Structure 1
Amino acid sequence: MSLNIIDLIKGQLGPALVSQAASQLGESESAISKAISGLLPAVVGGLANNADKPGVLDSITGATSGGILGNLLGDASNNPMISTVLASIFGDKIGGLVNSVSSFAGVSNSSSNSLLNMVAGAALGSIGKYAADNKLGNDGVKNLLEDQKGIVSTLMPAGLSLASLGLGSMGSTSMDVPTENVKVTSYDEPKIEVNRGGNTHVNVDKVDDADGAGSIWKWLLPLLLLALAAWFLWKQCNKPADTTTTMTDSTAMMTDSAAVTAPVDSAMMNTTKTDEDIDLNGTAIKGYKGGMEDSMISFLKSGAYANAADDAALKDNWYTFDKVNFKMGSSTDLEAASQGQLDNLLAILKAYPEAKIKIGGYTDKVGDEAANVKLSGERAEYIKKWLSDKGVGAQVLGAEGYGSKFATVDASASDAERAIDRKMAVRFAK
């Protein structure tokens, strides 16, 4: 294969566009990047699997004249060419694809849908530009797309697969390989001999075609699995240590008690991630149903805070920020989507001046623990100072960084799996 189309398209989906999308959609940059990592192979797989459809090819070759790449975020959702292509390659599976990526990345369905259109626009525009620059006609584009089928499924991020997206075996070369007139030669299981020097060699005896076709897989498949396991271990051993933390959306509730494992409150679980109006004593603020603001306001309205005897009755009930995220390695630079939720917390404290809180910062298990504690503490102090500067400092009783003390995911897990441990949270205090 002469070209990896996914690498070509990634050039159009760089950090600047991710940051712009995060700001416009109200999501964290890490969640946007995660969603794109799942959508991009799916879109390329869909194009490759439907490369023989004239409508798909015509859209690609005509994409450059439509100026799609000029405004991927602004025009993609309303571009009829993109909508037509998505309907053609995914059909009635679009809804399932959007829902799966939404849950996988922790973004709202509307954000996932917008990102699907953006990624599809980038794919059409990038492939169309490449075709124009290299004077490829429909046949050339078709051959280019079909070359991608063998690699698409291998490029899906950890935790996501074409099957989990409801796309089945899309991208597999086996679906387009003719079976007629193909002669299959079968083999016995290999005989492995070991000589005195410790060297091994394999003798494979050919047998008649009719005698158990396909038995080659009895020995070839284990070898392939061993090779795959070796590659995975090599990747893990050569992966650079992540000594800094990036924040991500999370619904897990934390505790600052060393003796208690962090509990999860089902009321905090939120998979749709859709902003709604949350009633704050007659004033509407935007937040997720069952998210931080909704849960805190419900707690205050129930009288549970007022009736709590002391701080011990409150310390195990943490509310994780849905949108407050710091940029990589920083304790002072927030991602664009964070400000709205800080404003909401400020509004809650002003509406309930008797309520007092504590801020907590958390990291995953990767990196030096002293550095993790320091960074998470500085982030908690940043939020405390911001609230103090807004006039509610007397209501913030403390800010503390716990590092990876309450992390639940092993350091050897993928970055996406460890993201649940990297968060900021708030609890009521007395």
Structure 2
Amino acid sequence: MSLNVIDLIKGQLGPALVSQAASQFGESESGISKAIGGMLPAVVGGLANNSDNPGVLDAITNASSSGILGNLMGGASSSPVISNLLTSIFGDKISGIVNAIATYAGISNNSSSSLLNLVTGATVGSIGKYAADNNLDKSGISNLLGEQKGIVSSLLPAGLSLASLNIGDWAKGYKFDNDNDAIRTAASEEPKIEVTRSTTSAGTNPDRNNNEGGGSIWKWLLPLLLLIAAGYFLWKQCDKKQTTTTTTTSDSTASKTDTAATTTPVDTSASTATPVAKTDENIDLNGVMLKGYKGGMEDQMITFLKSGNYKNAADDAALKDKWYDFDHVNFKMGSSTDLEAGSQGQLDNLVAILKAFPDAKIKIGGYTDKVGNEANNVKLSKARAEFIKAALAKAGVGTQVLEAEGYGSKFAKVDPKASDAERAADRKMSVRFAK
């Protein structure tokens, strides 16, 4: 799933900033909120459309050290860097955007212009901070921006369209199919600020079925285009569903040294490459039922222990090539201490397995994708492995965890220029039995 950068930005544009901006610009808070809701998708779209622009990439790369996020009201609204960036991505369309947003939100053109600089500063600063925190180079930033082309199309609030913003020319690159749209009628109730919305993929919009400026050709051409777009959308959704609901197991024989599993989809187990449907069910642990997947980590580990293969293994060399990937244990992006929701349950399952087989010993491994500085990747993956080791020790099975190691991107297979969703296959935590 592609990262929606608007989720990174909305924290900078919350109620406190809205209130401060309304006071400074002499506008109503509802007007400022509406303006931000209209500007943010346009700014993100403009950056995405210029994902290979050296000036855009330089501005984002330098944003983390510029302190712009700490002084949005005082710095971004008058920064020449932001002004030059807006000119780079919108050219002569800036005044049209400012006027359209001012009319839509009921604020002055001066307030709209200052607010556009502020929103752009918050956007560039937030993306720059994310890039710095996750060791993204300019190539990684370019990929991240490019992924937004499939996201921003559905984020314009009611009452705005690309046509009303006069940015239809560059927007053709997004295949929005709405260059000729009339402005959608806003609901009688003022919409809430749109920065709270999040989406994972571009969708079709039923409001775009009517063309109010075209000739008769649009009566059949526009529905055809929408039908093609809908078909593509459904195909992409099916493809994503297949990726996220299938687990692959493979036997790793890549090295005589301590190796990780070969590249597998996220939430996979490292044994043979036979697709297994991930069905949530009870996994029998000596009469105790654990919630897990058939063919998932718990199922395979318990089967291995019950088979006697661990007990009969002569030494660690007989165990070192068989890794089991956690199905659910994931860390929040860039963190080595914050687990994503749902992770604790599988750690509890691992504790239960170790307590049921007190003679079993394990080793924890952490892995990253190829993006960023490798030294930092190794450090992050090591810290994550150590965090899991500490969590297991706290649960009373610390003596059964012999080691926690971070491998960084050493065993990553996905190209660093691939999408974030594709690179996620290389970002995982794994466990193997040890002696």
TM-score w.r.t. length of structure 1:
0.46
TM-score w.r.t. length of structure 2:
0.45
